[in-house]
A and B are shown apart, each in its own frame.
Chain A
């Protein structure tokens, strides 16, 4: 079920009133659990079983981990959790990818291993909920978290519908306590939730989907388009993926607030970052912090010298790339980001990276703008590998950029890119300089209501007449 579909509004029209009418945490949690499984089964009910397997295994492993004192037994238990979750991922997401890679390698050596293929589809959101539930057992293993004794609470933690299929990837220590005290949302939560929903739908439907229509055509048949059009397609994709994913995150956070639950922020105006390190503190925060806490630090982080730090950064980002999708293009995407991060780390050494513009005069602003443009340019290059169907297509784009061929539609495409880009920059600046995702609430209530109402009218009109596009990150 897409958030940007009317069936989801009908779903909400049932879930929310019942949730408000129910009394008591246990009833509310049970209701949300049912709703979450209905939400997931709308896509394909069979894959609810995977969700349930992850839930059951990690619930009992968590309890056993907490009870065990013997370090060997604790390690074995953690391996069970990791093996089950990563095993599900390996089979459903990566098996065919690695099998195809083996086939290609074998074929190059004259061997035939064509039997290696599973006819399976990728369960929606599998990468998100497996990482989320793994954080639970890892945190208990590290003795940073006490296990919950409520199976319903834990099952809801794994399957909570607002963030089930595309995050934010929540930590058990944040979300479980929120679930344990489920009650009525406060007035502030309701108003913030509605504001987040409005901004989220605007970003997703009117920016993300509208960009996506053009992007899909250009990446679908790039040979039909000339250099400026291909460049526009790439820039529009960088706008689409941000609007789509941050819009989704806003909707998820807004929905959670309407249920009285606070989810973490997933984006903090990443395209206003002045360097790549800052970018990764602002982009997909729940994943980057997950990779930092459970992978980068486990590899040794920056505690084993510079050389090892660079290797750890590269390894973490390569695996982060692979997390996104089972294709070598995603690995290159992650590898490029790892390389950027390692080079940046090499350049700055032990100096701290500023987390936002510190204005000390015009020179600082110019330097900041230069940093932002430079960061966006190197990030833009990585998006090519992220979006391209394969390396041939990515090279085709690069070749067309190198052998520039003008287009009679350059002006039109420039106008489109500036319009979408301008709107995203406008929204990001509002967030950046007010330091709030719900900046609209800083206005008088009637004005805020007027803006939100108008935006939702346009969003609904657009939704009603245009085929809904799935969230880009649903495929991961």
Chain B
């Protein structure tokens, strides 16, 4: 009986302590719970008004608005006279590495407003891991409701020939079947989504399961050796620990010179569809394979190139992908966001100023 009481006391105090620590991890913004909810139409999207922090590469302290997209938002109904630009892209455009005020959309909105003499709002609908097929589906099924004057699709090689598509077990995407573009919603039947839905109340309330989930990612990605053995681990890279995930950045010059994977027809059709709808532009994020550039240009969409921005920075001795504080290469850094935002003003000003 005494032993049983001891076990019970142990279990209760451990549980209470875990719950207390979970609460503290959240209020101290050390670890937020899952910020997504599983939407039937779009897959995982931000929960309304959710706040969260990120510390990989840069420092992000922000959240989603009441309409479920990142940053301070705007309602669907537009204020007359306001120019509205929508952003579609992946984690680079999403910008989980900088405060919202340092995101390129802020520089774009501020400087474009000054140029046009009209208020400008830039809405960020990007999602991490999105490829062109996901962007198209999201655009058609959701973003068009917001009636943007211009939607910028940020594209790179990987978006056209996805090597890292958003998980098809969790996200819908556009596919090309029998000569038609249509939305694939197989994710609604996936076991992973069903499990996600079952766990959602816990994952979106508690922070500790999220830490456990991060641990699974470390194990799954094979980084557990580095975590356990430090610099004794085989093929050790930089640092004495773990980096979650990989950032699919620009290809090297030698990779660009090689022929890439065969372009799926759906990518070509999606680009044509977007071009046909109008009020869209493709922003080529960095140097891409010539064949992929040709496809984008041939689609008829206006094209904005960011490669000159990065070349200019590199000529000035600045590295747009380098994070001084964390000593990592990854997404665009603060300087890159600023220069890019200012560059885009000149490039897209004519598209919305008409």
Contact = CB atoms under 8 A, between A and B. Distances in A.
Interface residues of A, number: 46
Nearest to B28: A419
Contacts of A206: 21, 25, 30
A447 B9 contact: yes
Nearest to A447: B13
B324 A7 contact: no
Interface in B135-156: none
Contacts of A467: 239-243, 326
A409 B61 contact: yes
Interface in B1-43: 5-7, 9-15, 17-18, 21, 24-25, 27-31
Interface stretch (B85-93, B176-184, B212-220, B295-303): B212-220
Contacts of B15: 450, 454
Contacts of B242: 464-467
B218 A464 contact: yes
B227 A458 contact: no
Interface in B186-223: 208, 211-212, 214-215, 217-218
B100 to A, nearest CB: 8
A293 to B, nearest CB: 36
A221 B215 contact: no
Contacts of B14: 450-451, 453-454
A463 to B, nearest CB: 8
B237 to A, nearest CB: 12
Contacts of A449: 10
A408 B101 contact: yes
Contacts, number: 131
Interface residues of B, number: 51
Given A416-B29, A458-B21, A464-B215, A224 B102 contact: yes
B12 A450 contact: yes
Contacts of B324: 220-221
A446 B9 contact: yes
B228 A455 contact: no
Contacts of B240: 2, 5, 467-468
Contacts of A462: 30-31, 211
Contacts of B232: 7
Contacts of A445: 6
Interface string B319-352: 0000011100000001000000000000000000
Contacts of B164: none
B218 A416 contact: no
Interface string A58-88: 0000000000000000000000000000000
B244 interface: yes
B51 interface: yes
Contacts of B67: none
B13 A446 contact: yes
A5 B99 CA distance: 30
Given A466-B241, A466-B242, A412 B51 contact: yes
A10 interface: yes
A179 B239 CA distance: 35
Interface in A167-199: none
Given A6-B228, A6-B230, A465 B244 contact: yes
A423 interface: yes
B13 A454 contact: yes
A161 to B, nearest CB: 16
A417 to B, nearest CB: 9
Contacts of A443: 13
Contacts of A423: 24, 28
B229 interface: yes
Q: Chain B interface secondary structure, helix, strand, loop or mixed?
A: helix
A16 interface: no
B230 A454 contact: no
A24 interface: no
Interface string A401-420: 00000001100110110011
Given A214-B59, A412-B61, A416-B28, A224 B227 contact: no
Contacts of A1: 230
A444 interface: yes
A448 to B, nearest CB: 8
A449 B7 CA distance: 10
B211 A455 contact: no
A217 B230 contact: no
Interface string B268-303: 000000000000000000000000000000000000
Residue of B7, B27, B324 with most chain A CB atoms under a 10 A cut-off = B27
A210 B228 contact: no
A233 to B, nearest CB: 10
Contacts of B214: 461, 464-465
B332 to A, nearest CB: 14
Interface in A220-246: 220-221, 224
A217 B59 contact: yes
B265 to A, nearest CB: 40
A464 B242 CA distance: 8
B29 A415 contact: yes
B13 A220 contact: no
Contacts of A455: 17, 21
Q: Which 3 A-B pairs have the closest CB atoms?
A: A450-B13, A419-B28, A454-B17
Interface of A: 1-2, 5-7, 10, 42, 206, 210, 213-214, 216-218, 220-221, 224, 408-409, 412-413, 415-416, 419-420, 423, 443-447, 449-451, 453-455, 457-458, 461-462, 464-468
Given A7-B229, A450-B11, 7 more contacts: A210-B30, A220-B325, A221-B325, A415-B27, A423-B24, A465-B211, A466-B242
24 contacts: A5-B240, A7-B232, A217-B325, A220-B325, A224-B102, A415-B29, A419-B27, A419-B28, A419-B29, A446-B5, A450-B9, A451-B13, A451-B17, A454-B15, A454-B18, A455-B21, A458-B18, A458-B211, A461-B212, A462-B31, A465-B215, A465-B244, A467-B239, A467-B326
